[in-house]
Each structure stands twice: as structure tokens, then as C-alpha cells.
């Protein structure tokens, strides 16, 4: 294990320049794997039932992270299954416009792309049963393009989609370890997919196998009864780099021999959905930059603050196309 706060960054910093900003065909520094759906949300905030204009966008925890890391200057890729339908091809196109490599995505002719609707401040409605992403399985493990990747980013959402998707997650973590790829895992417990009792042991087992883990203090309390960041750290003492987010209070990172805390930014919140992905994206981009832990946390907070001010899962970068539609 490397010294001080560079436990995870030690491997990624070497060769980061080779993976960032290079030409077509260069390996991605970060590969994100997991479900992405078509997302519909009121364009200007307000309730879903009352809005006149809507955004039609790509939304998924792992691909959101890839888009944020790409926006901060690093090569990223995303792998999953999408329906071979207009929404699936639209999702892939939108991610490509955000500089995320989608060349390895599988388009499934038999199963549709999932859809979800945001009702800002009042939750999310999902229409994902039987989606192409839920058909991920161990057969897909060998298809994932890991060559040259330094960090594989996953989340607990994949494990909740179906037994075959959970088996896929298990297999891709094994393959990453075998090939020397670091694993980043966001717990991302979704009550809409599975209850705490069912999820707790499964998510804990996946988190224990990762090199870098993100979790919310509140979700950890719901899953494992750990109330404070220190209690969460005690439960996951063997995780090399553990990041605990605590809403508008701040975030703490625990390493083998140190811990650091950074307060959250003060933000006028439009919608909280997607902020955790933005935080992880900012944090991982800072890891690739070789930044020390306090700066990783600050970059996570900066990225999350931008997302909190919009109804979308991602941020419209001023220098890039977003390929986002407005529905009226």
C-alpha cells in the first residue's frame, strides 16, 4: 500500500497524461459500467404535473460520473446494454456528445431502454422493468473493454436490477482485480429497487471488494445502522479509500493512515438527483490529476453544486454540445 493519502491515486497518476485528452482509440482512464435510461424532467423546475416544457436527456449514475470526469479533461468510456430503439440510440448519442466513449455499448433488439421521470423535490418515477440493462449477465463480462483502464467505476444499482446483473457485477469486479484495474464503487442504495434488509449484505460485500468506496452517511445508517462517519469507517476499515458524503454538511475521506473533511458548498437547490454522481465525478477527476485528498473533496463539492442548480443529471458545459431536447 502506498504512503499517506495517495493509496488509490498512486497507480492512476502514473500515465494519467496518456489517457487524458489524447486522440481517438486511446484507452479511457475511467470506464463506468451500469444502467442508463432516458430521463424526462421539467425544464425549468417546478412540478412534473404542471410543467409545459421538459428535457429529454440521458440519465444513469455511472454514465453521469463518466460525463463529469470527461468534462474535467480525462478520457472516459461507458459500457452497458441499451434497447435497440430510438431512446437507446439517443442516450448513446447524448453521452457521446459529452465526450464519453460508447463504442462498446450493446444494443439489445429484444428489450427496451428504460425511462424515468423527475418530479423535482418530490422524487422520481421509474419505468425500467425488463429493460435491456437488466439483462446484463456474466456473458457480458468478457465484452467489457478494460484494456488500459485505470479505474473501473460501478454502483450498487446494477446489483439491484436482476440476479443476472448482480452476477455480472460480481464477475466484472473479479476481472478488474485480475487485470490490475482499480475498482471504484458507489453504494447507491435505491429503495425503489430493493429494501434495506435485502440490500445490506449484498452491497456491503461489493463495497469490501473495492479500492475506493463512496457512500452517503444517511444510506449507511439505513443499511448498516452506522450513525457517524467514524462508525462507517470502523465497519469498512479494510477499504483503502472510503468517502462518506453527509448532505449539506460535508464529506470525509478515510485513508489507511489519515482522514480529511471538507464542508459542502452553500447552494440554492433545484433538485438533488444526480448530485452524488457529480460529486464522485469531480472526486475521481481530481484523483487522476494527482490532487491531495482535501482538493479531491473540494472538487467533488464544486461539481455537485453545479448539478444541484439544475433539473438535469448532468451539466451543460459551455464549450460542448449536449444534444438535449426540450419537449413542449
Catalytically active residues are 277
Q: Cell for 321?
A: 454540445
Total residues found in the chain within this entry: 328
- For every residue of the chain, which 3-state class applies, written as one string? CCCHHHCCHHHHHCCHHHHCCCCCCCCCCEEEECCCEEEEEECCCCCCCCCCCEEEEEECHHHHHHHHHHHCCCCEEEECEEECCHHHHHHHHHHHHCCEECCCCEEECCCCCCEEEECCCCCEEEECCCCCHHHCCHHHHHHCCCCCCCEEEEECHHHHHCHHHHHHHHHHHHHHHHCCCEEEEECCCCCCCCCHHHHHHHHHHHHHCCCEEEEEHHHHHHHHCCCCHHHHHHHCCCCCEEEEEECCCEEEEECCCCEEEEECCCCCCCCCCCHHHHHHHHHHHHHHCCCCHHHHHHHHHHHHHHHHCCCCCCCCCCCCCCCCEEEC
Beta bridge partners of 251: 245, 262
CA–CA distance, 32 with 278 (Å, rounded to integer): 13
| CB half-sphere exposure, 38, CA atoms < 13 A | 24
Distance of CA 1 to the CA centre of its chain: 25
By C-alpha distance, which of 320, 318, 304 is closest to 270?
A: 304
Amino acid at each position: 500500500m502506498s504512503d499517506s493519502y495517495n493509496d488509490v491515486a498512486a497507480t492512476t497518476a502514473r500515465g494519467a497524461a496518456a489517457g487524458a485528452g489524447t486522440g481517438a482509440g486511446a484507452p479511457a482512464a475511467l470506464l463506468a459500467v451500469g444502467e442508463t435510461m432516458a430521463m424526462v424532467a421539467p425544464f425549468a423546475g417546478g412540478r412534473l404535473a404542471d410543467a409545459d416544457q421538459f428535457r429529454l436527456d440521458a440519465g444513469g449514475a455511472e454514465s453521469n460520473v463518466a460525463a463529469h470526469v470527461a468534462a474535467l479533461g480525462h478520457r472516459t468510456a461507458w459500457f452497458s446494454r441499451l434497447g435497440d430503439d430510438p431512446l437507446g440510440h439517443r442516450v448513446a448519442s447524448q453521452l457521446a456528445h459529452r465526450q464519453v466513449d460508447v463504442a462498446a455499448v450493446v444494443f439489445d433488439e429484444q428489450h427496451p431502454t428504460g425511462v424515468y421521470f423527475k418530479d423535482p423535490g418530490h422524487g422520481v418515477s421509474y419505468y425500467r422493468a425488463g429493460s435491456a440493462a437488466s439483462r446484463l449477465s456474466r456473458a457480458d463480462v468478457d465484452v467489457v473493454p478494460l484494456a488500459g483502464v485505470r479505474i473501473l467505476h460501478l454502483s450498487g444499482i446494477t446489483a439491484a436490477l436482476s440476479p443476472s446483473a448482480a452476477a455480472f457485477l460480481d464477475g466484472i469486479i473479479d476481472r478488474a482485480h485480475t487485470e490490475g484495474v482499480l475498482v471504484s464503487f458507489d453504494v447507491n442504495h435505491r429503495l425503489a429497487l430493493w429494501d434495506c434488509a435485502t440490500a445490506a449484505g449484498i452491497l456491503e460485500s461489493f463495497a469490501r471488494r473495492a479500492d475506493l468506496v463512496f457512500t452517503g452517511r444517511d444510506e449507511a445508517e439505513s443499511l448498516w445502522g452506522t450513525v457517524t462517519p467514524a462508525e462507517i469507517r470502523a465497519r469498512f476499515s479494510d477499504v483503502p479509500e472510503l468517502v462518506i458524503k453527509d448532505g449539506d454538511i460535508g464529506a470525509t475521506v478515510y485513508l489507511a493512515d489519515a482522514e480529511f473533511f471538507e464542508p459542502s458548498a452553500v447552494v440554492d437547490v433545484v433538485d438533488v438527483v444526480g448530485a452524488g454522481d457529480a460529486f464522485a465525478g469531480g472526486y475521481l477527476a481530481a484523483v487522476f490529476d494527482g490532487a491531495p485528498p482535501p482538493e479531491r473533496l473540494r472538487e467533488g463539492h464544486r461539481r455537485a453544486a453545479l448539478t444541484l442548480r439544475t433539473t438535469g443529471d448532468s451539466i451543460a458545459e459551455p464549450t460542448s454540445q449536449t444534444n438535449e431536447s426540450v419537449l413542449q
